[in-house]
Amino acid sequence: MQKFKKKLISKLYVLLLLSISPSVVSGGEIINVAISHFPPVEMMVDGKAEGVNIDLMNALFAKLKIKPIYKQMPFKRCMLSLSKGKSDIIGSLQYTEERNKFLYYVKPAYSEYNLIFYLRRGEEKRLAKYEDLYDLNLGVLRGYKNFEPFDSDKKIRKDKVNTWKSNYMKLGAGRIDAIIDDGVEGPYRAHLFGMTDKLAVAPYKVNLGRNGFFALSKKSKFIERIDEIEQVLKEMLDSGEIDKITQKSLEKYK
């Protein structure tokens, strides 16, 4: 009977340990980070998260003594995961009223958005001003926010796709006239898909300034540490550390 009690106690102790979160066992907190495949900003390479956002978040979380766990999923699933509180945070997100319902935008904004438009080489002058968009069939990523009034302008013909590769391949094949992309990610993707020599950037560009945020799920426990997170982020931005990490990271993917 005594042996049975010892075994039972031992099993209960193991079950108790398993029920405790890894953050408690390891002595540090774990934050679940939702990322999508947006190279060179964020991506999974051989099972490891890499990219500009990853380097920035690793630096930020190290200062906060938080261990990040990165999980890659399609962008729309990232939003769903954050809305349910399964993921804690996401990076490089633009503000929208809809997302603000379930996300807290960590201030200040830390990343710049400069949007470019690719057309087939030799046709780039077709897009010199916003109004020229009305004469083109634009390739856009489904569920991706670009800028206003572009996103809500129903006079612009938009061909929605699920992947960046589809966008670039359609443009190369002449099935669409132009695509909109990020000024940092676009050149990387054009090179990745073997399109650099076939495409050219239009004269018309959109500079949105710093409006890329880290966004925290309002159901995340880290909401309680938001003041601390914002203070550390502000210090990194004011000191120039954010820009230094960004430039160093981008150099790896040229």
Give me the mean pLDDT over the 220-248 stretch: 96
Please indicate, yes or no, if residue 141 is contained in any of the structural domains: yes
Same domain as 190, residue 156: yes
Average pLDDT of the chain, as a whole number = 89
Q: How confident is the model over 7-60, as pLDDT tens digits?
A: 444 444 433 333 333 333 334 699 999 999 888 899 999 999 999 999 999 999
Q: How confident is the model over 206-232, as pLDDT tens digits?
A: 998 888 999 999 999 999 999 999 999
Task: Quickly state the pLDDT bin for 254 (edges 50, 70, 90).
Answer: low
Same domain as 202, residue 121: yes
Of 193, 208, 223, the domain-final residue:
208
Please indicate, yes or no, if residue 170 is contained in any of the structural domains: yes
Same domain as 129, residue 52: no
Q: What is the pLDDT of residue 4?
A: 44
Same domain as 144, residue 204: yes
Please indicate, yes or no, if residue 6 is contained in any of the structural domains: no
Q: What is the pLDDT of residue 165?
A: 92
pTM of the model: 0.69
Provide long-range contacts, Cβ within 8 A and 24+ apart, for 245-253. Answer: 245/52, 245/55, 245/56, 245/59, 246/52, 246/55, 246/56, 246/111, 248/55, 249/40, 249/51, 249/52, 249/55, 249/56, 250/40, 250/52, 250/184, 252/40, 253/39, 253/40, 253/51, 253/188
Same domain as 215, residue 238: yes
Please indicate, yes or no, if residue 41 is contained in any of the structural domains: yes
